[in-house]
C-alpha cells in the first residue's frame, strides 16, 4: 500500500528516493493508534526504521503549512550508539526533511565541537548525536533541550550494552515532561524494559521482528571444523562465496589483528576495525569497503556497531558469539532493506552442543554444513568465470585491435587458456582441510598428542594475556629457568591473568627443582609453580574474574603499576615491576 497519514512534502521526498510503499515498521508507526504516543519498537537493523521514526515525529515538528518552523532550540533529538550510525541517521533525515526546511545538527565524537556548538546556536530543529558528545554539549550549556517535543533512542539495546546508561539518563532527565519518547531496539532485554518504564508513558508496543527472532532475509549456516583449522576454513568460505562485501567477527582486537594479517598475506583485499584503530583509520577502512577497494572486513562486535554497508552479503562468526543477542546484532549487518544475506558460524567440533543450544534459544533454524573443499571452490570459480566472460559487453576499437594481434600470434584456445590462468592467478588459493567425519575428527585429535606426552604435569605462571604473555618469550624463559629443552615443553595455554605449561611427568621433578634454584635470578621475576588444577578450570575462573571487555568505558587497559602498556607481542609484561599483577 502507498504511504498515508504523512505530510505531502515528505511524500514527495520519499517518492524522489524511490519509496513506493512503506516497510512493515514504517506502516506500523503511521497507524492511527500510534499518533502522538510514546512507542517501543522492536525492529531489525536494515528494516527502514530511520525513515520510520522520521515519519513518526513529523506531527511534532511540522506546522500547518507542511514545513518545520524556525526555532531557537531543538524540537527533536535522535540518540544513536556510534558515530557511523549517527552520521547515517543524519544523512537520511536531511533528504527526508530537506524540502520542509529543517536544519539538522550532528554531534558526534571525532568532529570539531566548536562547529557543532555553532550549528546548535544557529537554530537546528533536529539534533542527531552520540550519548557522550550530547552529554558534553548539555553540561557545557551549548545544548538546550527545554523545547524538545520528541526524543528517539535508536538501537537502545546497543547503547546500554556499550555502557551509556548514565549518559542517557542525564540527557533524558533534561528533557521536558510532555515530550514523546520513541524507543527503537532490535531486542528487548530487561534493562531496556526498565528504561522504558522510567521515561515513557502508556507506550505502544510495536514488533516487526517475527516469532523466529531471526532475520527473514538471512540464511543461517553453522560450519563444523577442527579447532586447528578455523583460519583455513575461513579462507575457503571467503573463496567459495566471493561476496561483494564480507564481514568477519572476532572476539578480541588481538584476534582481529592476527586474522587481518593472515588474510592480507593470502591476497585478500581486507581491512580491520577494532578498538585500537583511530577514527581516521576507521573512516579510511569504511571508505575502502564502500568504493570496492576492499571486500573483506575483520572486526570486533563493538567496532562494527552502527555500520551500514549496502553491499554486505556475508557475515562470518569466526569466534562464537557470547549470546543470542550478539549473534543477532552481528548477523543483522547483512540481509538489510530486503536484500538477501548469509550468516555463517564457524564451530569447532567440541563446541557444537553449545552453539546448538544458542540457536535453539534464539529460535533460529541454521543449516549445518561442512567447510567448502578446494574442489567445490574451483567448480564455483569456473562457473563465475564463464558467467563473467559470456555476459554481453561492448569493446572499443583499441580492444579489438589488440585482440586481432593476439589472434595472429596464438590460437583461440591458447588465448582463452591464458585468460583463465590470469584469472586464477589473481585469486587466493583454497586450503586442504581435514575431512569432516567422526573418524577424521578422532584422527585429528590423536595427531595433536605428541609422543612422550601421554602422562604430563601442569605448571602455572602468574602472568597472562593482560600482562602481554606470549609463547615467543615464554618458551626461552622456561628453558632457561627450568633447565629443559624446547622438546620437553608441551602445550602453553595463556589465560587472562595466568599461563599453564605442560611438561612430561618424567622431567617434572627436575623442572620444579630447577625453578626453585633459579627463582630470583632475573631482575624482574615471574613466579612459576606446579598447578593444582587443570588449565580449563583456571581459564573459566579467569573469565569469571575478568576485567572490562572491549567497549566498556572503564579506561585503557594497563600493565603493572597501572600505566598504559604499549602493544606488541615482544613486550615483556614485567618490565616495570618486580612482581606482575595477577
pLDDT in tens, 335-373: 765 678 899 999 998 888 889 988 988 888 999 999 999
Q: Which residue has the higher pLDDT, 203 or 570?
A: 203
**What H or E segment, with its residue span, contains residue 223?**
strand 218-225
Hey, how many other C-beta atoms are within 10 angstroms of the C-beta on 286?
18
Pick the CATH number of 218-373 from 3.40.50.2300, 3.40.50.300, 3.30.590.20, 3.90.1150.10: 3.40.50.300
Q: Mean of the per-residue pLDDT values for the chain?
A: 82
Question: Which range has the worst mean pLDDT, 13-17, 221-225, 448-452, 577-581?
Answer: 577-581
Residues whose CB is less than 8 angstroms from the CB of residue 12 and which lie 6 or more positions away in sequence, other chains included: 99
Q: Where are the extended beta strands (E) located within 468-532?
A: 492-494, 499-504, 528-530
- Residue 61 phi/psi, 5-degree rounding, is -105, -35
From the list 360, 241, 239, the residue with the least C-alpha distance to 312 is 241
Q: Is the pLDDT of residue 135 over 90?
A: yes
From the list 297, 263, 240, 274, the residue with the least C-alpha distance to 430 is 240
**Residue 347, pLDDT score:** 93
C-beta of residue 462 within 8 angstroms of C-beta of residue 538: no
Q: Is the pLDDT of residue 449 over 90?
A: no
Hey, how many other C-beta atoms are within 10 angstroms of the C-beta on 25?
24
- Residue 128 phi/psi, 5-degree rounding, is -120, 135
Residues whose CB is less than 8 angstroms from the CB of residue 373 and which lie 6 or more positions away in sequence, other chains included: 236, 430, 433
User: Using one digit for the tens of pLDDT, what is the confidence trace for 158-208?
Assistant: 788 777 889 999 999 999 998 999 998 877 778 888 888 999 998 999 987
**Residue 306, pLDDT score:** 66
Q: 127: pLDDT confidence band, cut at 50, 70 and 90?
A: very high
**Residue 566, pLDDT score:** 36
**SS3 label, residue 21:** coil
For the chain, where do the domains classified as CATH 3.40.50.300 start and end?
A: 8-207, 218-373
For domain 8-207, say whether CATH 3.40.50.300 is its number: yes
Fold of 456-562: Alpha-Beta Plaits (3.30.70)
- Residue in the structure block whose three cell numbers are 606482575: 580
C-beta of residue 70 within 8 angstroms of C-beta of residue 61: no
Give pTM, 2 decimals.
0.57
* Helix residue ranges, H only, 4-101: 8-16, 24-29, 49-56, 58-61, 83-97
- Listed as own residue / partner, the contacts of 114-117 with beta carbons closer than 8 Å and 24 or more positions apart are 116/142, 117/142
The C-alpha cell at 369 is 554444513
C-beta of residue 244 within 8 angstroms of C-beta of residue 381: no
Query: What does the alpha-carbon distance between residue 157 and residue 159 come to, in Å, rounded to a whole number?
Result: 5
Question: Which range has the worst mean pLDDT, 91-105, 361-375, 483-497, 542-556?
Answer: 542-556
* Mean pLDDT to the nearest integer, 260-289: 89
User: Using one digit for the tens of pLDDT, what is the confidence trace for 425-444?
Assistant: 888 888 887 766 555 555 55
> What's the CA angle centered on 206, arms 77 and 90, to 5 degrees?
30
* Mean pLDDT to the nearest integer, 318-334: 85
Q: Is the pLDDT of residue 494 over 90?
A: no
* Mean pLDDT to the nearest integer, 34-62: 87
Query: What does the alpha-carbon distance between residue 348 and residue 353 come to, in Å, rounded to a whole number?
Result: 10
What does DSSP assign to residue 57? Answer: T
Residue 477 to residues 140, 259, 461, 571, Cα–Cα distance (Å): 53, 27, 11, 14
Q: Which residue has the higher pLDDT, 203 or 568?
A: 203
Q: Is the pLDDT of residue 126 over 80?
A: yes
**Residue 547, pLDDT score:** 37
Query: What does the alpha-carbon distance between residue 460 and residue 462 come to, in Å, rounded to a whole number?
Result: 7
Query: What does the alpha-carbon distance between residue 446 and residue 429 come to, in Å, rounded to a whole number?
Result: 28
* Mean pLDDT to the nearest integer, 375-395: 87
Q: Is the pLDDT of residue 1 over 70?
A: no
Q: Which residue has the higher pLDDT, 80 or 519?
A: 80
The C-alpha cell at 161 is 550494552
What does DSSP assign to residue 371? Answer: P
Q: Is the pLDDT of residue 418 over 70?
A: yes
The C-alpha cell at 469 is 604473555
For the chain, where do the domains classified as CATH 3.30.70.330 start and end?
A: 456-562
**Residue 546, pLDDT score:** 40
Share of the chain above pLDDT 70, in %: 85
Q: 210: pLDDT confidence band, cut at 50, 70 and 90?
A: low
Q: How many residues does the chain have?
A: 582
Query: What does the alpha-carbon distance between residue 301 and residue 323 come to, in Å, rounded to a whole number?
Result: 12
Pairing of strands 270-273, 296-299: parallel
**Residue 204, pLDDT score:** 93
**SS3 label, residue 513:** helix
**Residue 560, pLDDT score:** 33
* Mean pLDDT to the nearest integer, 50-69: 91
Amino acid at each position: 500500500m502507498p504511504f498515508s497519514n504523512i505530510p505531502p512534502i515528505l511524500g514527495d521526498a520519499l517518492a524522489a528516493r524511490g519509496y513506493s510503499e512503506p516497510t512493515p515498521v514504517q506502516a506500523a508507526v503511521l497507524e492511527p493508534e500510534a499518533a502522538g504516543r510514546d512507542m517501543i519498537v522492536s525492529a531489525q537493523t536494515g528494516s527502514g526504521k530511520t525513515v520510520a521514526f522520521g515519519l513518526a515525529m513529523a506531527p511534532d515538528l511540522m506546522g500547518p503549512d507542511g514545513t518545520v518552523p524556525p526555532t531557537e532550540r531543538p524540537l527533536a533529538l535522535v540518540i544513536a550508539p556510534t558515530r557511523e550510525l549517527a552520521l547515517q541517521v543524519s544523512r537520511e533525515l536531511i533528504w527526508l526533511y530537506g524540502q520542509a526546511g529543517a536544519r539538522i545538527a550532528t554531534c558526534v565524537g571525532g568532529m570539531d565541537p566548536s562547529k557543532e556548538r555553532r550549528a546548535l546556536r544557529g537554530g537546528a530543529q533536529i539534533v542527531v548525536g552520540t550519548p557522550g558528545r550530547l552529554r558534553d554539549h548539555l553540561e557545557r550549556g551549548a545544548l538546550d533541550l527545554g523545547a524538545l517535543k520528541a526524543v528517539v533512542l535508536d538501537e537502545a539495546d546497543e547503547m546500554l550494552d556499550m555502557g551509556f546508561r548514565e549518559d542517557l539518563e542525564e540527557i533524558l532527565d533534561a528533557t521536558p515532561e510532555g515530550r514523546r519518547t520513541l524507543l527503537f531496539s532490535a531486542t528487548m532485554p530487561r534493562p531496556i524494559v526498565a528504561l522504558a518504564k522510567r521515561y515513557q508513558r502508556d507506550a505502544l508496543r510495536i514488533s516487526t521482528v517475527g516469532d523466529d527472532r531471526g532475520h527473514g532475509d538471512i540464511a543461517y549456516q553453522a560450519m563444523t571444523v577442527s579447532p586447528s583449522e578455523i583460519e583455513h576454513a575461513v579462507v575457503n568460505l571467503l573463496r567459495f562465496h566471493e561476496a561483494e562485501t564480507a564481514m568477519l567477527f572476532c572476539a578480541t582486537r588481538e584476534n582481529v589483528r592476527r586474522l587481518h594479517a593472515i588474510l592480507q598475506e593470502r591476497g585478500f583485499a581486507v581491512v580491520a576495525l577494532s578498538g585500537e584503530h583511530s577514527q581516521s583509520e576507521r573512516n579510511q577502512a569504511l571508505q575502502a569497503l564502500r568504493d570496492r577497494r576492499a571486500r573483506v572486513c575483520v572486526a570486533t562486535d563493538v567496532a562494527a556497531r552502527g555500520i551500514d554497508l549496502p553491499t554486505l552479503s556475508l557475515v562470518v562468526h569466526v569466534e562464537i558469539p557470547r549470546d543470542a543477542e550478539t549473534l543477532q546484532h552481528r548477523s543483522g549487518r547483512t540481509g538489510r532493506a530486503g536484500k538477501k544475506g548469509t550468516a555463517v558460524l564457524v564451530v569447532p567440533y567440541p563446541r557444537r552442543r553449545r552453539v546448538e543450544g544458542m540457536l535453539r534459544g534464539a529460535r533460529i533454524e541454521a543449516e549445518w554444513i561442512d567447510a567448502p573443499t578446494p574442489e567445490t571452490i574451483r567448480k564455483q570459480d569456473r562457473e563465475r568465470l564463464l558467467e563473467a566472460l559470456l555476459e554481453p559487453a561492448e569493446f572499443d576499437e583499441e580492444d579489438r585491435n589488440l585482440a586481432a594481434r593476439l589472434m595472429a600470434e596464438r590460437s583461440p584456445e591458447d588465448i582463452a587458456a591464458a585468460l583463465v590462468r590470469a584469472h586464477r592467478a589473481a585469486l587466493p588459493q583454497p586450503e586442504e582441510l581435514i575431512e569432516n567425519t567422526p573418524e577424521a575428527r578422532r584422527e585429528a585429535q590423536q595427531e595433536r598428542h605428541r609422543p612422550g606426552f601421554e602422562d604430563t604435569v601442569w605448571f602455572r605462571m602468574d602472568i597472562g594475556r593482560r600482562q602481554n604473555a606470549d609463547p615467543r618469550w615464554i618458551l626461552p624463559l622456561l628453558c632457561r629457568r627450568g633447565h629443559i629443552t624446547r622438546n620437553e615443553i608441551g602445550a602453553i595455554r595463556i589465560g587472562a591473568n595466568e599461563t599453564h605449561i605442560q611438561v612430561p611427568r618424567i622431567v617434572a621433578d627436575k623442572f620444579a627443582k630447577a625453578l626453585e634454584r633459579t627463582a630470583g635470578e632475573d631482575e624482574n621475576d615471574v613466579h612459576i609453580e606446579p598447578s593444582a588444577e587443570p588449565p580449563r578450570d583456571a581459564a573459566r575462573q579467569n573469565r569469571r574474574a575478568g576485567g572490562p571487555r572491549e567497549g566498556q568505558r572503564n579506561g585503557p587497559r594497563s600493565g603493572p603499576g597501572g600505566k598504559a602498556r604499549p602493544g606488541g607481542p615482544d613486550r615483556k609484561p614485567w618490565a616495570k615491576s618486580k612482581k606482575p599483577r595477577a
